[in-house]
Amino acid sequence: MLTLLRKIFTWWDRDTFGTRIKTILFGKLVGTDHLGNRYYESKSGKRWVIYAAEIDASKIPVEWYSWMHFTNNKIENNHELKKYDWQKPHQENLTGTDSAYYPNKNKNAIQKKYRSWKD
């Protein structure tokens, strides 16, 4: 019962009940990515994604980003983009987490290059 209520009233937990109905009635599955996200398109040309886990727009890999934003390029027709050895795998936005990038993690190592006039 709780799962059904969460599905009806929450938008941050995958897809809502309304999105599920719209997807069943009007959506055509275009493909999925390596994260498990599913990409749909309607006959009128609207596009949307149903995320596999937590909803976060930074979880759309570059292979599908151009398709979602109607950008025409060679990736749109072939969602299998060739990866090079030097490329890092797609990573979601880590801002606000313990894994976020901080340029100077050691605060004691920061030294001012100037002297304050209020000393």
Nearest to 67 by CA among 79, 57, 58, 76: 76
pLDDT tens across 13-28, in order? Answer: 667 777 888 888 999 9
Whole-angstrom Cα distance, residue 66 to residue 119? 54
CA 86 – CA 20 distance, rounded (Å)? 39
Q: Please indicate whether residue 30 or residue 3 has the higher confidence score (pLDDT).
A: 30
**Is the whole-model pTM more than 0.85?**
no
Mean pLDDT across the stretch 92-109?
74
- For residue 43, the model assigns a pLDDT of 92
Handedness of CA 71, 29, 16, 91 (dihedral sign): negative
Specify the residue for token string 């990409």.
39
Residue with the larger pLDDT of the pair 10 and 70: 70
> In sequence order, what are the beta bridge partners of 47?
41
Query: By three-state DSSP, how is residue 29 classified?
Result: strand
Domain boundaries along the sequence of the chain: 2-81
93 CB-side CA count, 13 A: 9
Name the helix (H) or strand (E) containing 50: strand 47-50
